Each structure stands twice: as structure tokens, then as C-alpha cells.
């Protein structure tokens, strides 16, 4: 059993038993900043080693998936689930976007097994954050609404996630590799320890969401489990066709399977205020995040292997 | 102004807003536009009609904004808060009378 998963379960159990344990929000903030920067830096260092233009097709594929996935989710939620338009649009945006925490766990899963993955996955992570947010707002409001797009753009592109991931990527890219050695102990060597603390807190947060799960019932639960599986299949097929390695395909599938809980909630709160945030956060944090971390990641590895064996890469 | 005048208290309103941290940037813009000369923001957590907010992480955080201002400004701000935010956001407003010693600041 992987210790970081056990940290997550400790958080879950402590939360469910109503333990007094809580991390100060400044600690959670710091730990998530470190994770975002580490992922960015690592990607940047690797990216520096290869030509940039060759990555454009993959970036385009990511954007297209990020635009289409929320449309699928929206249709399911409003037609089958009977959700109000704003709620369906907001949940759809969460599921079209990605979760950095889930990515970090999957990357650590691969690393601890000595499996490599393609260098530009962190770049695709950044790219995948954005399109679903825009689609979600348009679904809720229509294109010709009075949405203040400059405010939305500010919220989306200057939010903590994008600034730190992209900033880390650029720092890693431009830095003198020899000089990077000085910051490696903090950002690379301690990565799993930081991830463990992050997951402890995520366990506590996920547990605090279980209460509202009872209230919103079986459809949300089914959606929170089915949507990542659907996304993982799309991601695994797309990743294989893009020519990613098996490890890269698994990470891409995990990204598409994951649901945002940082960037999208903040953007939706400002842009689609009538959407109930409890619904989307219960689904993404209370159901999909634990599912992906505990069950999904090993499953997506099997899936990536199977698709690679079945499709010409 | 002699020393006695400086110590004489003046009446102002204290407007306290407790709401979601996500609103901080847009609220600060509103407050300045509506004529508040300043405000104090503190992090907050608690429980209300929209559930418990424990401030464990970004989307779960509350803020408390204190504004000291004259009656007219307090009225303008509370009307605007009610119009723009009451329907969709967790927000409460408290209004109280306070005495200040340096009226030119408020």
C-alpha cells in the first residue's frame, strides 16, 4: 500500500469520525503552492529538452477535449438528472476541467514504479484547466449575455493554479539546469512528503462533503463515478492516438477523468452565482476525487496498457 | 483644533459584512465606489443558513469586512449589497452606531 494513499485515508477516517484534527488554512495554502510549483518546474525542465512546436497538435487535442467534455456532462446532467441549467453548467465545467491533486497522485504512482511519462503532460494540465470554464459560463448564460469577460479572464488566467503552474513551467524551462540543483531538495526530493500532507487535508475536506451527499442523492453519486470512467476512456484513446507513452497515456486519462475543485469553483462562484456550489463540490470532492485516488489510478494504468495493446500507437 | 475637540466623540455607523471569501475583490471595488474611505478585512469561519464554512480551503472560506462611515454611505452600501448579493451568496450585514475620535478619517 502506498503511504500517500494511507495519508488520504487517515484524513477521510479522521474527518468521518469528527476528529478535532484540522490543518491551518495557511498550511494547506502553502502545501498546494508547493505542489503546483513542483509540477510546473518538473515539466519545464523536461520541456527545455525538446522542440516546442511539435507539442502543438497535442495542445490542440487537449483544448478540443476540454471544450467537448463539459457539453457531454451538461447534456447528461440536465436531460437525465433534471438539474437546473445553472447547476448543470457549473458541474459540467468542474468535470471538463482538471484536478492538480489527482494529477500529482497519479504522477507519484508512476514515479514510484519507475514508469516514465511524456514531458509535456504538465503543459497539457495547464491547457486543460481553462476551456471547460468558458464552456460552463456560456452554457449557463448564453454567448450574448452580460457576462464581464474581462473579469472572467482575470479570474481564470490569473488564478493561483494557472499562475503557479505556468510560472513554474517557465522557471524550469529557462533555468540553468546546473543552478536548479539548489532548489531541487525542496521541490523535487520532498514532493511525496508534501503530497502526503496535502492528501491528509484532502481526506478531511472530502469527508466534510459526505454529509451533503445524502442530501443530493443517488444520481449525483452515479454521475460522480461514471463521468471519470467515461473521461478516462476518452483520455486513454486520445493519449494513445497522440502517441504518448503508456505512462503518459495513463496520466492523460487521469487528467480527463479528474474534476476541478480549485480554479473552477472560484470562477463559477463569480460568473454563475445562481449555481449551487454545494452540488458541484460534493460531486468533485466528495465522490470523484476519492474515487480517482483510491480506485481510478490503478484502473487507468490497466486501461492505458489495454488501449496501447489494442490500438496502433 | 484644540485638545478638547480632538477628544470629543462623533457618531458614525459601523457596517459589518460577513460573506464568502470569493467576493473579496468585487466587494472592495463596490465599497470604494460607494464612498467608503476605508475598510478592514479579517478571515472568518462559522455556520449559517447556507451551512458550515470552516475556512479549511479556498472555496470554504469566509471574510468579515468592517466599514466605518456616515449614515448615507452605510445606507448606500447596504442597499447595493442587498440588490447584488443577497439572492445568490452567503452574506449577512450588521449595522451599529459607533463613536469615533477622528471624524475626518471616516
B58 vs A: CB within 8 A: yes
Residue A155 vs residue A136, higher pLDDT: A136
Query: Closest-CA residue in chain B for A154?
Result: B25
Chain B hits for A164, Cβ within 8 Å = none
Query: Which pLDDT does position A62 carry in this prediction?
Result: 96
Contacts of B55 in chain A (CB under 8 A): 25
The lowest-confidence range among A41-55, B9-23, B63-77 is A41-55
State the DSSP code for A115: -
Give the H or E element holding residue A244.
Answer: none
Eight-class DSSP state of A79:
I
Q: What is the mean pLDDT of residues B70-80?
A: 95
pLDDT the model gives residue A24: 86
User: Hey, how many other C-beta atoms are within 10 angstroms of the C-beta on B40?
Assistant: 10
Q: How confident is the model at residue A108 (pLDDT cuts 50, 70, 90)?
A: very high
In tens, the pLDDT along A283-303 reads 999 999 999 999 999 999 999
Lowest mean pLDDT among A62-71, A114-123, A304-313: A304-313
Please enumerate, as own/partner, the contacts of A179-184 that have beta carbons within 8 Å and a separation of 24 or more: A180/A41, A180/A45, A183/A41
- Partner residue facing A273 (CB), from B55, B56, B88: B88
Task: Give me chain A's average pLDDT, please.
Answer: 91
- Comparing CA positions, the residue from B79, B65, B71, B55 lying closest to residue B27 is B65
Residue B56: pLDDT band (50, 70, 90) is low
Return the pLDDT at B2: 62
What confidence tier does A7 reach under pLDDT thresholds 50, 70, 90? very high
CB atoms within 10 A of CB A60: 11
Distance between start and end Cα atoms, chain B:
18
Q: Say if residues A89 and A139 touch (Cβ distance below 8 Å).
A: yes
Task: Tell me if A206 sits within 8 A of A285, measured CB to CB.
Answer: yes
Q: Cα separations (Å) of A267 from A140, A160, A163, B63, B98?
A: 13, 12, 15, 18, 37
Report the predicted TM-score, pTM, of the whole model to 2 decimal places.
Answer: 0.88
Pure H helices in A17-99: 25-47, 56-75, 85-96
Mean pLDDT to the nearest integer, B24-42: 94
Enumerate domains of chain B plus CATH numbers. Answer: 3-101 (3.30.70.120)
How far is the C-alpha of A6 from the C-alpha of A235, rounded, in Å? 27
B5 band by pLDDT with thresholds 50, 70 and 90: low
Residues of A with CB under 8 A from a CB of B: 22-23, 25, 28, 160, 201, 204-205, 208, 212, 261-262, 265-266, 269-270, 273-274, 277-278, 281
Amino acid at each position: 500500500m502506498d503511504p500517500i494513499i494511507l495519508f488520504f485515508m487517515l484524513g477521510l477516517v479522521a474527518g468521518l469520525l469528527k476528529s478535532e484534527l484540522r490543518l491551518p488554512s495557511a498550511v494547506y495554502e502553502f502545501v498546494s503552492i508547493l505542489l503546483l510549483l513542483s509540477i510546473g518546474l518538473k515539466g519545464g525542465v523536461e520541456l527545455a529538452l525538446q522542440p516546442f512546436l511539435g507539442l502543438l497538435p497535442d495542445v490542440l487535442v487537449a483544448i478540443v477535449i476540454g471544450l467537448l467534455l463539459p457539453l457531454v456532462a451538461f447534456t447528461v446532467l440536465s436531460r437525465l438528472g433534471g438539474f437546473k441549467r445553472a447547476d448543470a453548467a457549473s458541474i459540467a465545467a468542474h468535470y471538463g476541467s482538471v484536478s492538480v491533486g489527482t494529477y500529482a497522485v497519479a504522477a507519484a504512482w508512476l514515479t514510484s514504479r519507475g514508469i516514465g511519462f511524456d514531458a509535456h503532460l504538465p503543459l497539457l494540465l495547464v491547457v486543460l484547466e481553462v476551456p471547460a470554464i468558458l464552456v460552463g459560463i456560456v452554457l449557463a448564460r448564453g454567448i450574448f449575455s452580460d457576462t464581464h469577460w474581462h473579469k472572467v479572464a482575470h479570474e481564470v488566467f490569473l488564478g493561483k493554479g494557472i499562475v503557479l503552474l505556468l510560472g513554474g513551467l517557465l522557471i524550469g524551462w529557462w533555468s540553468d539546469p546546473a543552478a536548479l540543483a539548489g532548489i531541487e531538495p525542496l521541490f523535487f526530493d520532498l514532493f511525496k512528503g508534501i503530497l502526503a500532507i496535502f492528501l491528509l487535508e484532502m481526506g478531511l475536506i472530502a469527508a466534510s462533503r459526505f454529509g451533503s451527499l445524502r442530501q443530493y442523492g443517488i444520481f449525483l453519486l452515479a454521475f460522480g463515478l461514471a463521468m471519470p470512467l467515461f473521461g478516462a476512456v476518452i483520455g486513454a484513446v486520445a493519449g494513445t492516438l497522440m502517441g504518448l507513452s503508456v505512462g503518459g497515456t495513463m496520466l492523460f486519462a487521469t487528467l480527463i477523468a479528474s474534476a476541478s475543485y480549485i480554479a473552477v469553483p472560484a470562477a463559477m462562484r463569480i460568473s454563475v452565482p445562481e449555481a449551487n456550489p454545494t452540488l458541484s463540490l460534493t460531486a468533485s470532492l466528495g465522490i470523484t476525487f476519492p474515487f480517482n485516488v483510491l480506485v481510478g489510478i490503478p484502473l487507468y494504468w490497466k486501461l492505458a496498457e489495454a488501449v496501447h495493446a489494442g490500438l496502433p500507437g | 483644533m484644540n485638545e478638547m475637540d480632538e477628544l470629543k466623540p462623533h457618531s458614525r455607523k459601523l457596517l459589518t459584512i460577513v460573506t464568502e471569501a470569493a467576493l473579496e475583490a468585487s466587494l472592495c471595488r463596490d465599497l470604494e465606489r460607494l464612498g467608503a474611505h476605508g475598510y478592514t478585512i479579517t478571515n472568518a469561519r462559522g455556520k449559517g443558513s447556507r451551512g458550515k464554512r470552516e475556512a479549511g480551503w479556498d472555496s470554504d472560506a469566509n471574510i468579515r469586512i468592517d466599514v466605518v462611515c456616515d449614515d448615507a454611505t452605510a445606507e448606500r452600501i447596504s442597499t447595493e449589497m442587498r440588490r447584488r448579493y443577497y439572492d445568490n451568496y452567503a452574506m449577512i450585514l450588521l449595522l451599529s452606531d459607533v463613536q469615533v475620535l477622528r471624524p475626518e478619517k471616516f
